[in-house]
């Protein structure tokens, strides 16, 4: 190879190297900075649909969790029955269970397990419930309607005269009787005579028993 050819070859190589270097330099100069990438990215491109893709701690989608119904309030008093209000205080009860003990033409004996409570008679205060339930026996009878409960080892019998009227101290017992013996009858006790109830003589209102089933034998 003569001198002229060598010079030509070296010139071509030199030009090729310069072109490669220029290309690398141009690429480096045109690379976007981090903030330029952000500026050229729309908000829609960065948005993440959390309502359909993000699970909650229990596996429920966020959209489902937001629309789920709230848990029921365990202290709700919707099933509480008002008994009697006196001297700024009202008595309440919840029926936890009801069992039929005995029944014939004289009447029907029920055993109720109740949880008692009290509140102020303003109508705004919460009900304070007792720690333990208690049992009450109710004798559904048009001849001798009565509510029975144990008191200091003895049976207390409250005979209810729905025709002549219920005294204030027996309003709680009368309310229990109506709920147990005439559930859903909003006309009771105003319609007591129409249902077959009669006035009860004073001497029949004093009833002594040793057990609830004795009430059947006290029907005159």
CA atoms within 13 A of residue 79's CA, in its CB half-sphere: 10
Give residues with Cβ within 8 angstroms of 197, minimum separation 6: 142, 145, 162, 163, 189
The predicted pLDDT at position 22 comes to 61
pLDDT of residue 74: 39
pLDDT of amino acid 36? 44
pLDDT at 50: 33
CB 168 within 8 A of CB 86: yes
C-alpha torsion angle, residues 157, 162, 168, 173 (rounded to 10): 40
Question: What does the pLDDT read at residue 79?
Answer: 77
DSSP state of 213: G
Position 149 scores a pLDDT of: 96
Alpha-carbon gap, residue 204 to 189, rounded angstroms: 20
Q: What averages of pLDDT result for each successive group of 10 residues across the chain (220 residues)?
A: 54 61 57 45 40 36 35 53 84 93 97 94 80 96 97 94 94 94 95 96 92 94
């Amino acid at each position: 190879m003569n001198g002229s050819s060598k010079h030509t070859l070296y010139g071509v190589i030199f030009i090729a190297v310069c072109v490669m270097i220029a290309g690398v330099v141009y690429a480096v100069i045109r690379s976007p900075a981090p903030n330029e990438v952000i500026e050229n990215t729309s908000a829609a491109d960065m948005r993440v649909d959390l309502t359909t893709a993000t699970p909650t701690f229990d596996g429920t989608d966020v959209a489902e969790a937001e629309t789920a119904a709230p848990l029921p309030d365990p202290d709700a008093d919707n099933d509480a029955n008002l008994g009697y209000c006196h001297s700024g205080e009202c008595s309440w009860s919840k029926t936890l269970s009801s069992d039929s003990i005995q029944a014939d033409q004289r009447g029907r004996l029920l055993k109720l397990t109740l949880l008692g409570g009290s509140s102020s008679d303003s109508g705004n205060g919460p009900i304070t419930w007792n720690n333990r339930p208690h049992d009450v026996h109710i004798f559904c009878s048009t001849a001798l309607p009565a509510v029975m409960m144990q008191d200091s080892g003895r049976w207390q019998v409250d005979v209810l005269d729905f025709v002549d009227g219920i005294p204030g101290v027996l309003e709680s017992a009368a309310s229990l009787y109506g709920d147990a013996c005439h559930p859903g009858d909003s006309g009771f006790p105003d319609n007591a005579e129409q249902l077959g109830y009669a006035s009860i003589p004073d001497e029949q209102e004093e009833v002594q028993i040793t057990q609830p089933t004795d009430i059947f034998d006290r029907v005159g």
